[in-house]
Amino acid sequence: MEEKELIVSTSPHIFADEDVSKVMLNVILALIPTTLVGIYFFGIYTAYVIIVSIISAVIWEAISLLIRRKSIYTLMDFSAVVTGLLLALTLPPRVPLWIPVVGTFVAIVLTKQIFGGIGGNFLNPALVGRAFLLTSYPSLMTSWINPVFGFITQSTPTSTATPLAIEKLKLPYSLPSYWDLFIGKIPGSIGETSAILILIGGLWLIYKKIIDWRIPVSYILTMIILSFLFKKDPIFQVLAGGVFLGAFFMATDWVTTPLTPFGRLIFGIGAGFLTMAIRIYGNYPEGVTYGILVMNVLTPLIDRTIKPRKFGGVKK
The strand pairing partners of 159, in sequence order, are: 145
Residue 316 included in any domain:
no
φ/ψ of 253, rounded to 5, equals -55, 125
Residue 4 included in any domain:
no
Residue 257 included in any domain:
yes
End-to-end CA separation in angstroms for the chain: 49
- % of the chain residues with pLDDT over 70: 89
Q: What angle do CA 281, 286, 291 make, to 5 degrees?
A: 80
Residue 3 included in any domain:
no
In angstroms, the CA 148 to CA 313 distance is 62
In angstroms, the CA 82 to CA 217 distance is 23
Q: What angle do CA 201, 135, 128 make, to 5 degrees?
A: 40
Q: Amino acid letter at 284?
A: Y
Residue 204 included in any domain:
yes
pLDDT tens-digit readout, 3-14: 556 666 665 555
In angstroms, the CA 253 to CA 248 distance is 9
pLDDT tens-digit readout, 28-67: 999 999 999 999 999 899 999 999 999 999 999 999 999 9
Is the per-residue pLDDT at 183 higher than 70? yes
Cα–Cα distances in angstroms (integers) from residue 212 to residues 17, 56, 218, 258, 282, in the given order: 18, 30, 11, 11, 29
Q: pLDDT at position 201, please?
A: 94
To the nearest whole number, what is the mean pLDDT of the chain?
88
Q: Contact 160/13 with Cβ under 8 angstroms?
A: no
Is the omega angle on the peptide bond into residue 234 within 30 degrees of 0, that is, cis? Answer: no
More confident residue, 150 or 215: 215
Number of domains in the chain: 1
Q: Where are the alpha helices (DSSP H) in the chain?
A: 20-42, 44-67, 79-89, 98-104, 125-136, 138-141, 163-169, 178-183, 195-207, 214-229, 234-239, 243-245, 261-281, 288-305
* CA-wise closest residue to 239 among 175, 149, 171, 170: 175
Residue 88 included in any domain:
yes
| pLDDT-derived band at 154, boundaries 50, 70, 90 | low
Is the per-residue pLDDT at 311 higher than 70? no
Residue 11 included in any domain:
no
Q: pLDDT at position 3, please?
A: 59
Instruction: Print the domain residue range for 155.
Output: 21-305
Mean pLDDT of the region 204-208: 94
Q: What angle do CA 272, 273, 275 make, to 5 degrees?
A: 65
Out of 112-126, 135-149, 154-168, 193-207, which region has the weakest mean confidence (pLDDT)? 154-168
Q: pLDDT at position 19, please?
A: 75
| pLDDT-derived band at 21, boundaries 50, 70, 90 | confident
For residue 298, the domain's CATH number is 1.10.3430
Rg (CA), the chain: 21
Is the per-residue pLDDT at 148 higher than 90? no
More confident residue, 80 or 74: 80
Q: pLDDT at position 86, please?
A: 96
Residue 6 included in any domain:
no
Q: What is the 3-state secondary structure (H, E, C) of 162-201?
A: CHHHHHHHCCCCCCCCHHHHHHCCCCCCCCCCCHHHHHHH
Q: pLDDT at position 150, please?
A: 67
